[in-house]
Amino acid sequence: MAKVFRAYFLKSLFIFWYRFLLRQLKNLIVFHRTISNTFANTTQSQIKYQKFSSLLNRSDLNDHTLIFDVENALLKSTSLFPYFMLVAFEAGGLFRAIVLVLLYPLIFLSGEKMGLNIMVMICFFGLKAKDFRIGRSVLPKFFLEDVGSEIFEVINQGGKKVGVSNLPRVMVESFLKEYLKIDFVAGRELKMVCGYYVGLMDETKNLHALKQVHEGKGSLDMIGITRFNNIHDDEIFSSCKEVYAVSQGDKRSWKKLATKKYPKSLIFHDGRLALTPTPLKSLAMLMWLPYGIILSVIRITLAFTLPFKISTPLLTFSGLRLTSSIPENAHKSNGHGHLYVCNHRTLLDPLYISFSLHKKLIAVTYSLSKMSEIIAPIKTVRLSRNRDIDAKMMKTLLQQGDVVVCPEGTTCREPYLLRFSSLFSEMCDEITPVAVDTHVSMFYGTTASGLKALDPVFFLADPFPAYTVELLTQVRPSQFPRVSENAEECRFEVANHIQAEIGNTLGFECTKLTRKDKYLMLAGNEGVVFNRRNSIPRNSQQ
pLDDT (tens digit per residue) in 237-269: 777 878 888 888 889 899 999 999 999 999 999
pTM of the model: 0.85
Among 121-130, 139-148, 156-165, which stretch is predicted with the lowest mean pLDDT? 156-165
The residue-averaged pLDDT of 298-324 equals 89
Q: How far apart, in whole angstroms, are the C-alpha atoms of residue 171 and residue 196? A: 16
- % of the chain beyond a pLDDT of 70: 80
The residue-averaged pLDDT of 31-36 equals 43
**Beta strand 196-201 with 190-193: parallel, antiparallel or unpaired?**
antiparallel
pLDDT of residue 222: 83
Q: Does pLDDT of 235 surpass 50?
A: yes
Q: Does pLDDT of 282 surpass 90?
A: yes
DSSP state of 254: P
Q: Does pLDDT of 91 surpass 60?
A: yes
Q: How far apart, in whole angstroms, are the C-alpha atoms of residue 347 and residue 235? A: 51
DSSP state of 538: E
The residue-averaged pLDDT of 403-411 equals 91
**Beta strand 403-405 with 339-342: parallel, antiparallel or unpaired?**
parallel
Closest CA to 461 of 275, 308, 285, 271: 285
Q: How far apart, in whole angstroms, are the C-alpha atoms of residue 293 and residue 461? A: 5
Q: Which domains does the chain have, with CATH numbers?
A: 46-253 (3.40.50), 284-523 (3.40.1130)
- % of the chain beyond a pLDDT of 90: 48
Closest CA to 457 of 228, 298, 281, 280: 298
178 burial level (CB within 10 Å; 0-12, 13-18, 19+): middle
Look at residue 518 and give its three-state secondary structure: helix
Q: How many Å is the maximal CA-CA distance in the chain?
A: 115
Contact 528, 454 (CB under 8 A): no
∠ CA 494-437-363, nearest 5°, is 65
Cα atoms in the 13 Å half-sphere on the side-chain side of 22? 6
Per-chain mean pLDDT for the chain = 83
Radius of gyration for the chain, computed over Cα atoms and rounded to the nearest angstrom: 29
pLDDT of residue 12: 56
pLDDT of residue 537: 45
Closest CA to 69 of 211, 170, 172, 159: 172
Q: How far apart, in whole angstroms, are the C-alpha atoms of residue 161 and residue 176? A: 10
450 burial level (CB within 10 Å; 0-12, 13-18, 19+): middle
pLDDT of residue 430: 86
Q: Is the dihedral of CA 357, 359, 360, 361 positive or negative?
A: negative
pLDDT of residue 14: 53
| pLDDT tier for residue 381 given thresholds of 50, 70 and 90 | confident
Closest CA to 161 of 208, 222, 237: 222
Q: What is the DSSP string of 451-494?
A: -GGGHHHHHHHSSS-EEEEEE---B-GGGS--GGG-HHHHHHHH
Among 248-252, 277-281, 384-388, 527-531, which stretch is predicted with the lowest mean pLDDT? 527-531
CB burial of 195-220 (b: ≥16 within 10 Å; e: otherwise) equals: eebebbbeeebbeebbebbeeeebbe
Closest CA to 208 of 226, 188, 225, 191: 188
370 burial level (CB within 10 Å; 0-12, 13-18, 19+): exposed
Residue 119, H or E segment: helix 112-124
71 burial level (CB within 10 Å; 0-12, 13-18, 19+): buried
| pLDDT tier for residue 142 given thresholds of 50, 70 and 90 | very high
